[in-house]
A and B are shown apart, each in its own frame.
Chain A
Amino acid sequence: MANLAAVVGIGQTSYTTKRNDVSIAGLVREAAVNALNDADLTWDDIDAVILGKAPDMFEGIIMPEIYLTDALGCNGKPMLRVHTAGSVGGSTALVAASHVQSGTFKRVLTVSFEKQSESNAMWALSNPQPFSTHLNAGAGGYFAPIIREYIRRSGAPDDVGIKVAVKDRQHGARNPLAHLQLPEITMEEVSESFMLWDPIRYLESCPSSDGACAMVIANEELADRSSKPPAWIRGVAMRSEPTMYAGREEVNPQAGRDCAADVYKQAGISDPRKDLDVAEVYVPFSWYEPMWLENLGFAPEGEGWKLTMEGATSLLDGGDIPWNPSGGVLSSNPIGASGMIRFAEAARQVRNDAGEHQVPDAKLALGHAYGGGAQFFAMWVVGAEKA
């Protein structure tokens, strides 16, 4: 049995296209200091640092944890660097949690970041390689055919993606840290926005952001004494499958289904829509909300879009299971941090500390991240109570 652990501090930067006012070290430190302040702790209270980010080519620095150790107060302590593609922010939180859940450490700091403005992420994602056709137009080009197949199978109406795009930006407008602030966004505006990778429109895609997110995770004894309510970690799970294999289910990947089943079992969840109060789920392209609603068991296969259209996932519509009240990846996307932001926002909800985007009385929340060709999954369930 894993030892109990809880999130006792959360810190984020604001998210924007270019954080020209800080260096990379300044960016991660800003999030880390915010987390320490939130936990009412100092650097000396931290036993180890766990850092995550997406490919090093995004900033052009090899193993940046080596140079960031000074900015993160880690000298003389253990430093671990996680990289699991787009799911990395989530995986990093899980690896950080394992430092405490294993009984090895009392209190650790975990940080994820991306400063995409310092390099060219689209180039880094699909840098041309000899021998192969160079047609990978970034992540959108990769996921568009999979979304098309979902639409064909489910028979979902065309405006489901548009509805998600509007809903998440309305949520984001309540979150002062969110990159896109579009409180007046309309369905028409999204539907008339440029079709980038058919069926994905410009406003149905995530932005490219600079930003960092940090959390302090502590053991039961220290969490019990924390100054603000802790978010107890009730379940942790990771799953991976290969990018391409014959017969792979790309629309509803088995790794995602297995990962969800694992984390629900640990948290005692039998009906996620009913048992969970809120979910922060990695939705970089709007159609991934209905797809993940099905993959994560919130709706039967082929019917996820109905929840979206009914407003079940909307905080503003008073939906029963708000998804991404923070605005989600569609409102802010510093890639390497995006997964950790989901995990941290889930924790903010159950700490009743999410400000204008708080889901009333949230007690149990899901944090979710995915990466690669929708093949790497990381999830946790956090609760206001220990069990």
Chain B
Amino acid sequence: MSEENEVITGIEVPIFLKYNFTAGASPTRFLARVKEGVLTGQRCPKCKQVYVPPRGACAGCGVPTEEEVELADKGTVQSFTIVSIPIPGNPIEPPFVVANLVPDGANISFIHLMSECDNADVHIGQRVQAVWKPEEEWDYAMDNIKYFKPIDEPDVPIEKIGKLPVTGLEG
């Protein structure tokens, strides 16, 4: 190689592929209700546990979930992290709290944001409630819920997290 030639160590090859994304039949039913401002789960016919968001099967039993169950938009912090770096493609400003939340009436957590709180006060067992976007902005998306905020209810004992009925603590 002559010395004038620059050494090539790489080339940029951008790859663009277009997909028509489908949610799945079960998630479709869930998203249709989220568009109406209602959280729903699906109950496993075998173990009776309620999944949210439903993905089509009880992963534990490997059977389809059909029965739809309406859930509260209140829930409990199962665990959380405080994220100090930005998420690619997400405008949210760090540091922010990402929590594993179990809505009342479900037996499994999903991930969502927590806000209107002091990050240092967030803790496992804490009670929270959804803060929804204005109704006119609702779409087929979990982002209809802007975030969850702490509410003035007593903490849930560890052993009861993920086991509360839809009526919450009083139930």
Contacts and interface: CB of A to CB of B under 8 A. Distances in A.
Interface of A: 20-21, 60, 118, 120, 122-123, 126, 128-137, 141, 144-146, 148-149, 152, 194-200, 242-248
Interface stretch (B68-76, B87-95, B149-157): B87-95
Given A132-B142, A247-B107, A195 B60 contact: no
A131 B27 contact: yes
20 contacts: A130-B23, A131-B23, A131-B142, A132-B142, A133-B141, A136-B111, A141-B87, A144-B83, A145-B78, A145-B80, A148-B80, A149-B79, A149-B124, A152-B124, A197-B83, A198-B81, A245-B49, A246-B162, A247-B107, A247-B162
A134 B88 CA distance: 9
A129 B79 CA distance: 23
A244 B111 contact: no
B31 to A, nearest CB: 6
B15 A244 contact: no
Nearest to A57: B15
B128 interface: no
Contacts of B90: 128, 134-135
Given A20-B9, A122-B88, A123-B88, A145 B100 contact: yes
B143 A148 contact: no
A245 B60 contact: yes
Contacts of A200: 81
B164 interface: no
A141 B79 contact: no
B9 A195 contact: no
A244 B107 CA distance: 11
B171 interface: no
A137 B124 contact: no
B10 interface: yes
B132 interface: no
A371 to B, nearest CB: 16
A246 B50 contact: yes
- The 10 A-B pairs at the shortest CB distance, nearest first, are namely A144-B81, A246-B49, A242-B59, A145-B79, A245-B60, A198-B82, A246-B107, A20-B9, A245-B59, A197-B81
Contacts, number: 112
Nearest to A60: B15
A80 B60 CA distance: 30
Contact of A137 (B51, B59, B87): B87
Nearest to B120: A198
Nearest to A134: B90
Given A20-B10, A132-B141, A246-B44, 17 more contacts: A123-B88, A128-B89, A129-B21, A131-B140, A136-B111, A137-B85, A137-B87, A141-B81, A148-B79, A149-B79, A195-B84, A196-B83, A199-B81, A244-B59, A246-B47, A246-B50, A246-B108
Given A130-B141, A134-B90, A244-B59, A194 B162 contact: no
A154 B143 CA distance: 35
Contacts of A148: 79-81, 124
A199 B78 CA distance: 15
Given A145-B79, A198-B84, A135 B27 contact: no
B143 A195 contact: no
Contacts of A242: 59-60
Contact of B60 (A118, A137, A197, A246): A246
A335 B100 CA distance: 25
Interface in B106-121: 107-108, 111-113
Contacts of A141: 81, 83, 87, 98
A248 B47 CA distance: 13
A181 to B, nearest CB: 22
A197 B119 CA distance: 13
Nearest to B21: A130
B99 interface: yes
A197 B84 contact: yes
Nearest to A20: B9
Contacts of A196: 83-85
B58 interface: yes
Contacts of B49: 245-247
Contacts of A134: 87, 89-90
Contact of B87 (A132, A135, A152): A135
